[in-house]
Amino acid sequence: MASAVTPLDQPSNYKDSQARVDRQKQHGLLQKSTTLYIGNLSFYTTEEQIHDMFSKCANPEDGGGVKRIIMGLDRHTRTPCGFCFVEFYTHAEALASMRYISGTKLDERIIRCDLDLGYREGRQFGRGKSGGQVRDEHRQDYDPGRGGWGAQAQRLEIERRRQVEERYADAEQGAPIAAGGEEWKQLNAVPAEPTLKRGRSPEDEDESSRQRVRVDEDTGRM
Least CB distance from residue 219 to another protein, whole Å?
18
CB of 150 to another protein, least distance (A): 25
Does residue 59 come out as left (phi exceeding 0), alpha (psi in the -120 to 50 range) or beta? beta
Nearest CA-CA partner of 29 in 12, 54, 11: 11
**137 vs 207 by CB, closer to another protein:** 207
Q: What are phi and psi of 127, to 5 degrees?
A: -110, 5
Count of Cβ atoms closer than 10 Å to residue 121 Cβ: 11
With 0-12 / 13-18 / 19 or more C-beta atoms within 10 angstroms meaning exposed / middle / buried, residue 136 is buried
CB of 159 to another protein, least distance (A): 18
Q: Which is nearer to another protein, 111 or 151 (CB)?
A: 111
Least separation, in Å, of the C-beta of 181 and another protein? 3
Smaller CB separation from another protein, 149 or 167: 167
CB of 77 to another protein, least distance (A): 16
- If the CB atoms of residues 23 and 162 are measured against another protein, the closer one turns out to be 23
Is the Cβ of residue 104 or residue 173 nearer to another protein in the bound state?
104
Shortest separation between residue 46's beta carbon and another protein, angstroms: 7
Polymer length of the chain: 222
Name the residue nearer to another protein (CB basis): 8 or 143: 8
